[in-house]
A and B are shown apart, each in its own frame.
Chain A
Amino acid sequence: MNIIETKIPDINVKNIDQSKVNLAEKIIRNINPLFDDLKQIKIDDYKIKLNEYKRIKTNVLSNKTSLESLFKQYKRKQKVKQLLERIDKLVSLGIVNEGQTKQETIVLLKIIDKLDTNKLDFHLKDTMTTISKRFPTK
Chain B
Amino acid sequence: MNIIECPEVTRIKKHDLIPTVIDHIFTICKEDKNFNVKENINNVDEKLVFVNKKISKQNSLIEQSNTIKNDLLVKIKKLDDESFRIKYKILESLGSEL
**Which residues of A are found within 8 Å of B7, using beta-carbon distances?**
1-2
The answer to whether residues A4 and B5 also contact, given A46-B48, A66-B69, A78-B79 and a CB cut-off of 8 A, is yes
Q: How many residues of A contact B (CB 8 A)?
A: 57
Contact between A43 and B94, CB atoms less than 8 A apart: no
Chain B residues lying within 8 Å of A84, measured Cβ to Cβ, are 83, 86-87, 90
A125 at interface, CB cutoff 8 A: no
How many residues on the B side are at the interface (Cβ–Cβ under 8 A)? 49
1/0 per position for B24-57, CB-CB distance to A under 8 A? 0110010010010110110011011001101100
Q: Shortest Cβ distance from A41 into chain B, in angstroms?
A: 9
Give B contacts to A, CB under 8 Å.
1-7, 25-26, 29, 32, 35, 37-38, 40-41, 44-45, 47-48, 51-52, 54-55, 58-59, 61-62, 65-66, 68-69, 72-73, 75-76, 79-80, 82-83, 86-87, 89-91, 93-94, 96, 98
